[in-house]
Amino acid sequence: MAAVVERALIVGVEVTGRQRSIHRSTQSSAEATRLDPPENVEESLEELATLAESAGAVVVGRFKQARPALDAATLLGSGKVAELKALVDADEIDTVIFDHELTPTQLRNLEKQLQVKVVDRTQLILDIFASRARTSEGQLQVELAQLSYLLPRLSGHGIEMSRLGGGIGTRGPGETKLETDRRRIASRIAKLKAEIARVRTTRGVQRAQRQAVPLSTVSLVGYTNAGKSTLFNRLSGADVLADAKMFATLDPIVRQVRLPSHRRVLLSDTVGFIRNLPTTLVDAFRATLEEVTSAVLLLHVVDLTSPIAAEQTAHVMKVLAEIHAETTPQILVLNKCDALANGNRTSDLEAITHRLLGETARLNKTKAALVSGKSGEGVPRLLELIDSELVLDPVTRQCFRLPVSEGRALHLLHERAAVVSQAYEGDFCNVVADTPESIRKRLAEFQLRPDSAAGSRHAKVRVKEKN
């Protein structure tokens, strides 16, 4: 039997009055532009339609209203709700999706008047997350976010269940059931938080173990559907699901990547960001986002083909600020350059970076790279940039004199350093290599002193004594 596809109508409201700028009044104009760009209703509705399709619905119509302030009871106002009801009936709509987070009162009033299922943006995103989570950690985090969203929206159905207590007839099975549900959900939330705290502790131990080995962590961040997973597969050789659907990847994945200097770094792929990312999700996924906060370098992936790339970049910066990672060094990765016309590829990278990041790009000296995760174009240049930006385990050119019996040491240089030259002299092998500090320390006994020539037969080196 074929699955029933929901017919959805999406609704957006453009606030034209003073209410639009109230939450921005406490910010400086530069900070507001960088962290909280003005909303474009058309763009936001387009994104909402993509989200709805990712959740499995078919968007059959759009409804937009401009008003000076949001209506406290129905968001739209009684006249527009009546107009929306007529449209719902005419088009046989199953679900109405609002591009705002509805209050419990608004949700209840709209469902009562429209007589169909009403979903807001937050609930839609939570539904997508629930369908995408695969690991137990991801499922825990999604459940926590869903319950945190649901708890304040619990209400009885019928006047005797929703009426406040305070007299005969106001307490009964319905009210008892409602309070029981609230207690059960609150108890479950507390349990989930404890389990996620254990996950965070486990991640901390794993992170400490990784940091014991001098491997830097580089995290991919960016707007959802910017091509992070495709680029992650290209850089690491992994086989992570790369789908055009939003939030195709939820659970963090970490892989080793070798840089041109032969240094190795840990590359992590994280959940994509989105405008108006629900606070419940930011809190629930904090354990996952710690992979971002612990990184020494962020690869900020931007879909260069998107007409709203600047707005998407600003929203990513806003989320990074919320998790206190906005000061972490970044490389702006301008992805999907293969989809551009040849003339557009020669654009000034510095100008593009400034257009996307504003003054922050100049202050932080942010570098950029044009790449295509799909074709691999520009990836070697990106790896070179990563190599140059990492400060942990710095690379210097060193000279080593190895006994020919030290095959393991020679293999280590070829594996973990960039060998420049290699020459044999009798029972010794002289090697010049661009070597990470950690490898230099491991091979310190074979290192030539600064006053010794790399090829000198009489260089003063320590040689392992053989038993």
What the block records as the tokens of 260 is 């041109």
**CA–CA–CA angle 228, 320, 198 (5° rounding):** 85
Looking at CATH, the fold of the domain delimited by 7-132 is given as Rossmann fold (3.40.50)
C-alpha distances (whole Å) from 220 to each of 315, 320, 332, 333 are: 15, 12, 10, 9
Pick one of 3.30.1370.60, 3.40.50.300, 3.40.50.10860, 3.20.20.70 as the CATH number of 214-389.
3.40.50.300
Domain ranges of the chain: 7-132, 136-195, 214-389, 395-446
pLDDT for the residue 385: 92
What's the pLDDT at 173?
47
Q: What is the pLDDT of residue 97?
A: 92
Report the pLDDT value the prediction gives residue 400, as an integer from 0 to 100.
Answer: 94
Q: How many CB atoms lie within 10 A of CB 175?
A: 17
Give the pLDDT score at 242: 54
pLDDT of residue 346: 53
Separation between Cα atoms, residue 64 and residue 73, nearest integer Å: 18
The residue written with tokens 């339609």 in the block is 49
The set of residues, in sequence order, having a beta carbon less than 8 Å from that of 74 and lying 6+ positions away, is 81, 106, 109, 110, 113
- What is the reported pLDDT for 245? 54
pLDDT at 308: 84
| Model pLDDT, residue 264 | 83
CATH fold match for the domains 7-132 and 214-389: yes
- Residue 325 neighbours by CB distance under 10 Å: 20
pLDDT of residue 463: 37
The alpha carbon torsion through 21, 27, 29, 30 (nearest 10 deg) reads: -140
Phi, psi of 349 (to 5 degrees): -65, -35
Residues of the chain whose pLDDT is less than 50? 1, 21-38, 156-175, 244, 452-467
Q: What is the pLDDT of residue 383?
A: 92
What is the predicted pLDDT for the residue at 159? 41
